[in-house]
């Protein structure tokens, strides 16, 4: 069994670029190659998947986009890394060429519990955070999302329910009705028929400590590295790696909101980090929650 993932081969809404499936047999019975083995020229780290319903020429190979915790976990499973409207796909090798082929999928059912930690295909009706704050309607942040960001393929149908349109490692969340500029994580039960990894301890989006080793949930104000170097502003780090100049990786509306705070937009196993003023990536001394 694929630990921590659904035993189902499908998630309702194949146009979602957070598609989850263990299917690794392409519909023409050609074998999908492992994502880790795909040459760099088939990747594009400088842009995000299209949020307009279109399809990017190149996919994004990045833990923050994959529904898996690492590229190794993605194995050779079908994914939809470029938000292709046809659905999930994989690369099939033909000599030295890697050819994009679509996967055979059948999608049905509504998931009202979590089959994994991230829960990007959760479609239940919980609409209150783990701190008992009411969720705002997703339409109020409509400029940030499109229908394809939600498992029901409709921002309207997502209503004010807890969802994870950004693949946040902390799990399903929502914007707060009391303050639309802040968000909170939701307490969603795991499905009994799955065998998930231990769930993350979810904290609010402004957590001042990390409850997991990765620390994707951290939202505090530390801006000094373990080497005592000052962090650079995230919205000026495109000189170092333009990929990280994307608000969706930080669950914010603008890059200015991230300021120069330590974060983990790459799901780095070493925890929150930042670029220093000299352009070097360094880790931060974010404390573990007691």
pLDDT of residue 198: 26
**Distance set, CA 197 to CA 1, 68, 91, 226 (Å):** 12, 12, 28, 30
Task: Give the pairing of strands 97-102 and 89-94.
Answer: antiparallel
**What tokens were used for 121?**
């295909």
Higher pLDDT, 218 or 70: 218
How many other C-beta atoms are found inside a 10 Å radius of the C-beta of residue 246? 19
Query: 């780290």: which residue's tokens?
Result: 45
pLDDT band, very low/low/confident/very high, at 20 (cuts 50, 70, 90)? very low
For residue 117, which of 214, 250, 10 has the smallest C-alpha distance? 214
Highest average pLDDT, of 75-79, 122-126, 228-232, comes from 228-232
Reported as a pLDDT band with limits 50, 70 and 90, residue 48 is very low
At 143, is the secondary structure helix, strand, or coil? helix
Which residues on adjacent β-strands are paired with residue 185? 173
Most confident of 98-102, 122-126, 190-194, 236-240: 122-126
Helix, strand, coil distribution of the chain in percent, nearest 5? 15, 15, 70
For residues 252-267, average pLDDT: 82
Tell me: the pLDDT tens digits for 86-117? 666 788 888 888 887 777 553 434 466 776 66
Chain segment 139-153, per-residue pLDDT in tens: 998 788 888 788 777
Structure tokens at 261: 């705070």
Q: How far is CA 128 from CA 81, 140, 179, in A?
A: 30, 16, 13
Q: How far is Cα 237 from Cα 242, in angstroms, rounded to an integer? A: 7
Confidence check: pLDDT of 273 > 70 = yes
Phi, psi for residue 162 in degrees, rounded to 5: -65, 130
Query: What is the spatial distance between Cα 158 and Cα 12, in angstroms, rounded to a whole number?
Result: 13
Domains and CATH numbers, the chain: 1-109 (2.40.20.10), 110-202 (2.40.20.10), 206-290 (2.40.20.10)
Higher pLDDT, 78 or 192: 78
pLDDT band, very low/low/confident/very high, at 70 (cuts 50, 70, 90): low
How far apart, in Å, are the Cα atoms of 265 and each of 79, 226, 244, 262, 290? 20, 18, 7, 10, 23
User: Using an 8 Å Cβ cutoff, are 115 and 196 in contact?
Assistant: yes
- Other beta carbons less than 10 A from residue 59's beta carbon: 25
């Amino acid at each position: 069994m694929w630990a921590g993932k659904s035993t189902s081969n499908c998630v309702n809404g194949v146009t979602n670029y957070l598609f989850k499936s263990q299917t690794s047999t392409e519909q023409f019975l050609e074998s999908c190659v492992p994502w880790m083995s795909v040459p760099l020229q088939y990747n594009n780290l400088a842009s995000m998947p299209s949020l307009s319903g279109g399809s990017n020429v190149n996919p994004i190979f990045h833990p923050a986009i994959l529904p898996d915790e690492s590229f190794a976990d993605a194995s050779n499973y079908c994914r939809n890394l470029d938000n292709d409207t046809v659905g999930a796909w994989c690369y099939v090798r033909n000599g030295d060429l890697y050819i994009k082929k679509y996967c055979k999928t059948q999608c049905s059912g509504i998931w009202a519990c979590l089959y994994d930690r991230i829960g990007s295909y959760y479609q239940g009706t919980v609409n209150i955070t783990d701190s008992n704050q009411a969720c705002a309607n997703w339409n109020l942040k409509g400029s940030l999302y499109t229908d394809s960001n939600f498992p029901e393929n409709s921002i309207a149908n997502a209503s004010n329910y807890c969802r994870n349109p950004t693949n946040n490692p902390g799990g399903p969340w929502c914007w707060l009705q009391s303050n639309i500029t802040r968000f909170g994580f939701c307490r969603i039960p795991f499905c009994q028929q799955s065998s998930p990894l231990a769930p993350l301890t979810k904290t609010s989006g402004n957590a001042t400590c990390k409850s997991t080793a990765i620390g994707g949930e951290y939202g505090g104000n530390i801006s000094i590295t373990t080497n005592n170097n000052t962090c650079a502003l995230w919205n000026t780090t495109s000189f170092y790696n333009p990929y990280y100049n994307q608000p969706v990786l930080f669950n914010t509306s603008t890059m200015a909101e991230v300021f120069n705070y330590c974060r983990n937009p790459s799901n780095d196993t070493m925890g929150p980090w930042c670029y220093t003023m000299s352009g070097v990536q360094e880790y931060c001394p974010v404390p573990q929650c007691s």
